[in-house]
Amino acid sequence: MLDKEFKNPVRIQDMNKAIKSFINKHIIGIVSTSNDRSVHAVPIYYHYIDHENAFYFFTRTASKKYSNLEKNNKASFTIFNEDPPVVFTADCEAELLNIDEGNYSDIFIKLVEIHSSQLGYPTPISTMAEGLLTLVKLNIIDFNYKSYIQDINSLKSS
């Protein structure tokens, strides 16, 4: 069973508008999970809920990431932008949620819309045929946001 006690949750006010704007402008990130032998990093389509300071995504119960999160609820999440170079990373604690329990219909609909909007491109979840569809919530414990725009501009002016 996953530990539901989040030791150091990030206060919502600690994330400024620029960071939240960056997160909300993207829909795909890399989630990294681990087991005793290895680290597993895969792309996922996500939905961020501002007032919860949490990311939601689908996975299947037969996936390696689900198996890892069942045993170890710690995960890392990364969103990046190539041009201009900006990176957001977060240390998270995951909750494996039952779609049929709780009030997740709005989140479910939003994730279906995100996956459906990728016409012509297979979404990561669509490549998996086995396992039940499940919802994962990543609660942000700590984060780092770095925009390299100022660093590049200062190099140009030197």
Give pLDDT tens digits for 87-145: 999 999 999 998 777 788 889 889 888 877 766 666 666 666 688 889 999 999 999 99
Residue 5 confidence (pLDDT) = 43
Mean pLDDT on 23-51: 94
Residue 115 confidence (pLDDT) = 79
Q: In the structure, what pLDDT confidence band is assigned to residue 1 with cuts at 50, 70 and 90? A: very low
Name the more confident of 54 and 6.
54
Domain boundaries defined on the chain: 12-157
In single-letter form, the type of residue at position 81 comes to: N
Please, which residues have CB within 8 angstroms of residue 135's CB and are 6 or more apart in sequence?
56, 57, 58, 96, 97, 98, 99, 104, 107, 108, 111
Closest among 121, 118, 122, 46 to 88, alpha carbons compared = 46
Phi/psi zone of residue 125: left (φ > 0), alpha (ψ -120 to 50 degrees), beta? alpha
Residue 140 confidence (pLDDT) = 96
Judge whether residue 154 has pLDDT over 80: no
Judge whether residue 13 has pLDDT over 80: no
Mean pLDDT on 75-81: 97
Q: How far is CA 26 from the centre of its chain?
A: 11
Q: For all residues of the chain together, what is the average pLDDT? A: 83
Q: Which CATH number fits domain 12-157: 2.10.210.10, 2.30.110.10, 3.20.20.70, 2.40.160.10?
A: 2.30.110.10
